[in-house]
Amino acid sequence: RPPIAQTIQVKAHFDYDPEEDLYIPCRELGMSFQKGDILHVISQSDPNWWQAYRDGEEDQTLAGLIPSKTFQQHREAMRQTVVGDSNNKEKTKKGKLLCAKKHQKKKKKKMLYPNYNEDFDSEEILTYEDVALYYPRANRKRPIVLIGPPNIGRHELRQKLMEDRDRFAAAIPHTSRTRRETELDGQDYHFISRTQFESDILARKFVEHGEYEKAYYGTSLMAIRAVVNSGKICVLNLHPLSLKILKSSDLKPFVVFVAPPSLEKLRQKKQRLGEPVKDEELKETIEKAREMEEQYGHYFDLIIINQDVDRAYHQLLHEINMLEREPQWVPATWLA
Ligand code: 5GP
């Protein structure tokens, strides 16, 4: 006997258009959706074709067929094999290498480079992610994580939020360098020894860390948790490689991707700000944003296009206000 029908909610990690699907048993019954949509799956009795409707379209007569998770995964795997999986892997490896090289370059210039846990599994085939509704809690506010390519005002956005000191706070970083006379332990930094730092890295206590003039610096899960426990909203500027550890922690981060506008709009923005406009650099920023979205888009809760920093700030603030009022779809594992 088929299992008792139970509705599950999933977040789609791919776009789907039944019109372009050669395999769907009946195109008219298919339902299109886009990456990021929340879907209510009302029947999984067919192993290949689920029945679902999009969140917000509660009229269940709008329900339609969508590929099941296993069917879609299988199809993706096949597609990758046909297109040349090795080619893809090569690309990923190259991407990582390139990334490492860039950081080395940065190190020379700024003497600061980040290290990450290399446990990011880009090979995993993402189709649907089980989600559940999270109801905001007044004393446990979700940290806001700003992600995005450099030079598009991410730091400025963070600074603007942090002006409201009663509401927002930064996590206090750890360092292995010696404390300066004017500094307070636990206020400017958490000062720890180099060996302690190294064992904390191994114990995966940091969401990110780097080295600067022979000292370690890093942001720990504990420091973020301390802000959450104080009732404030922690604001973090992170590299996307930090997201995996943060997302699998208990901190329920809200990930905001700060994206550049089109080349023309970016050019106009730079001109307005009186900043030098080098088309090559602008194109690089746009390309970097595209790559980030492709590789880490499944982690994003919100995308903000920063064409005008005031407008972007108000949009961000509006979303943060909503987070404190409205229920949100989060990975089901967070609430298990
Ligand atoms: P200072 O020792 O002068 O306080 O800081 C030296 C450098 O360490 C600065 O460039 C600062 O940006 C960097 N730094 C401070 N905190 C952190 C952190 O949590 N992580 C990383 N990667 N670098 C940090």
- The response to whether residue 72 sits with its C-beta less than 6 Å from ligand 1 reads no
End-to-end CA distance of the chain: 28
d(CA 35, CA 21): 16
Q: Where does CATH 2.30.30.40 sit in the chain? A: 8-79
Instruction: Note whether 151 and 284 are within 8 A (CB).
Output: no
Per-residue pLDDT of the chain (336 residues; tens, 9 = 90+): 555 668 999 999 999 999 999 999 999 999 999 999 999 999 999 999 999 999 988 776 779 999 999 999 999 988 877 765 454 444 444 344 333 334 444 433 333 444 544 444 444 789 999 999 999 998 999 999 999 999 898 999 999 999 999 999 999 999 999 999 999 999 999 999 999 999 999 999 999 999 999 999 999 999 999 999 999 999 999 999 999 999 999 999 999 999 999 999 999 988 888 888 899 999 999 999 999 999 999 999 999 999 999 999 999 999 999 999 999 999 999 998
The residue written with tokens 């789907």 in the block is 16
* In 25-95, beta strands by DSSP E: 38-43, 49-54, 64-67
Length of the chain, please? 336
Atom of ligand 1 nearest to the CA of 173: 19
Interface pTM (ipTM) of the complex?
0.96
Three-state DSSP state, 230: coil
Do 36 and 10 meet the contact criterion of CB atoms below 8 Å apart? no
Strand partners, 329: 133
Chain region(s) in the chain for CATH 3.40.50.300: 136-167+232-326
Q: Which of 116, 217, 239, 246 to mutate to test the pocket of ligand 1 (most atoms within 8 A of CB)?
A: 217
Would you say 126 and 298 are in contact if contact means Cβ atoms under 8 Å apart? yes
Tokens 């190259």 found at: 94
CATH number for the domain running over 8-79: 2.30.30.40
Residue 227 alpha carbon to ligand 1 centre in Å? 19
Query: What is the second-level CATH architecture of the domain 136-167+232-326?
Result: 3-Layer(aba) Sandwich (3.40)
> Which residues does 148 contact at the CB level (< 8 Å), separation at least 6?
154, 257, 258, 259, 260, 289, 292, 306
pTM for the model stands at: 0.86
